[in-house]
Amino acid sequence: MKTRSLLLALLFITNLNTTSNAQSADSSKVSYSKLTSVVLATAGAFYYGHVFNTNMWWKGEKSRFHLTWKEDWTYALGSDKFGHFYFPYMATNIYSDVLNWCGVDGEKSLYYSSGVAFAYQTYVEIKDGFSKQWGFAFGDFAANTLGAAYPLLQNKYPELQNFRFKISYYPSPRFRNNSHTTIIDDYESTYDWLSINIRHYLPEEVKKYYPSFVNIAIGHSVKKLDLAEGGNHEFYIGLDWAFENIKDDWGILNTVRRMFSFYHLPAPAVKIYPDVIWYGLKY
């Protein structure tokens, strides 16, 4: 997954934002010292991403810029598209928080952050276009674009705040057999989730008894990708611990809660396809 370097950078940059967002977002003056630290960290992350991806993905035979069509959707049964959506979606949200911390206006920070996330993902796709093995994938590009745009749509249409995307990881058999160096590169170990704030849609007489931090989640993964027939999809329905729905200020733990708002924590679930399995906790 070529976005791994950006994910690591986001975790680092988020740690810069150690103060309460509720305090920092009120600032009407940009702190250029904070902004400089964020710009330098971002530039370093971009450079690291270039070096890492060159060594990991782009060091093979080069070619003229070209497109890939069939492989765009057959690769990992298309499950990579969620990753291409998810990482710019997460990056836009986190960079927006960090720019708020720097004193940048909320809506402006969201647009700047979306641009940064989109630019990084587009750069990766263009570099893929010059790799004989990969090629520029319109499916990936479309997912990148939607991921960077979705936080903007959530800002414009608040109803979309009730639909959030999360990810989780649990070691697959092939990962345990050392198929990948890191778990986030293994699609069989990856679970994609749409977390729905079901409480928002309940009748008022029911809503007051329903805990705000319990969402309904729809999950997806892929398995047996190494088989000749190409593997299969899996679908789940379960619960999601949506602590981001709790409006209380968590102080110094606000950053931790914010990070967990992008990750699906273990919760009860049932696999509904291709077979039915109940899980007390699904990771």
218 and 130 in a common domain: no
Q: Is 3 exposed, middle or buried (0-12, 13-18, 19+ CB in 10 A)?
A: buried
222 and 259 in a common domain: yes
151 and 126 in a common domain: yes
256 and 172 in a common domain: yes
Q: Is 181 helix (H, G, I), strand (E, B) or coil?
A: coil
127 and 205 in a common domain: no
Question: Could you give the CA distance from residue 251 to residue 90 in angstroms, rounded to a whole number?
Answer: 22
Q: What domain count does the chain have?
A: 2
Q: Is 255 helix (H, G, I), strand (E, B) or coil?
A: helix
116 and 39 in a common domain: yes
168 and 114 in a common domain: no
Assign 24 a pLDDT band (cuts: 50, 70, 90).
Answer: very low
180 and 65 in a common domain: no
74 and 1 in a common domain: yes
The gap from C-alpha 191 to its chain's centroid, in whole angstroms, comes to 11
Q: Looking at residue 1, what is its pLDDT? A: 52
Assign 13 a pLDDT band (cuts: 50, 70, 90).
Answer: low
26 and 146 in a common domain: yes
**pLDDT at position 6 over 80:** no
Residue type, 132: K
Q: Which residues form the domain of 47?
A: 1-156
Q: Looking at residue 47, what is its pLDDT? A: 86
Domain boundary among 121, 139, 156: 156
Residues whose CB falls within 8 Å of the CB of residue 59, separated by 6 or more in sequence, listed in order: none
Question: Could you give the CA distance from residue 276 to residue 181 in angstroms, rounded to a whole number?
Answer: 31
pTM for the whole thing?
Answer: 0.88
124 and 5 in a common domain: yes
Assign 14 a pLDDT band (cuts: 50, 70, 90).
Answer: low
Between 56 and 282, where is the model more confident? Answer: 282
pLDDT tens across 149-182, in order? 999 999 999 999 999 999 999 999 999 999 888 8
Q: What is the mean pLDDT of residues 198-213?
A: 95
The answer to whether 117 touches 88, Cβ cutoff 8 Å, is yes
Domain boundary among 136, 156, 176: 156
pLDDT tens across 97-116, in order? 999 989 998 899 999 999 99
CA dihedral of residues 127, 131, 135, 137 (deg, nearest 10): -30
Q: List the one residue out of 266, 217, 259 whose CA is nearest residue 98.
A: 259
The distance between the two most distant Cα atoms of the chain, rounded to a whole number of Å, is 64
